[in-house]
Amino acid sequence: MAEWVLGVIGGSGLYEIEGLQDPRWVKIDSPFGAPSDELLTGSLGPVKLVFLPRHGRGHRLPPSGLNFRANIDALKRAGCTDVISLSAVGSLREALEPGTFVVVDQFIDRTFAREKSFFGEGLVAHVSMAEPVCPRLSAFAADAGRAAGARIIEGGTYLCMEGPQFSTKAESALYRSWGCDVIGMTNMPEAKLAREAELPYASIAMVTDYDCWREDFEHVQVSHILEVLHGNADLARDLVRRMAQSLPARREPSPIDTCLDTALITAPQARDPMAARRLDAVAGRVLGNLAK
Query: What is the mean pLDDT of each successive set of 10 residues along the chain, which is 292 residues long?
Result: 90 80 97 98 94 94 97 98 96 95 98 98 98 98 97 98 95 98 98 98 95 74 63 88 95 97 96 97 95 88
What was the pLDDT predicted at 203?
A: 98
CB distance 72 to 194 below 8 Å: yes
What was the pLDDT predicted at 61?
A: 96
Q: How many CA atoms lie within 13 A of 36 on its CB side?
A: 29
What was the pLDDT predicted at 215?
A: 77
CA dist., res. 217 & res. 69, Å (int)? 37
Residues marked active site are found at 209, 211
Architecture of domain 5-291: 3-Layer(aba) Sandwich (3.40)
Looking at residue 40, the DSSP 8-state letter turns out to be E
**Where are the domains positioned within the chain?**
5-291
Going from the C-alpha of 20 to that of each of 36, 51, 52, the distances in angstroms are 21, 11, 15
What was the pLDDT predicted at 17?
A: 84
Q: 216-225 long-range contacts, Cβ below 8 Å, gap at least 24?
A: 219/166, 220/90, 220/166, 225/88
CA dist., res. 35 & res. 69, Å (int)? 8
CB distance 181 to 121 below 8 Å: no
What was the pLDDT predicted at 227?
A: 66
CB distance 5 to 79 below 8 Å: yes
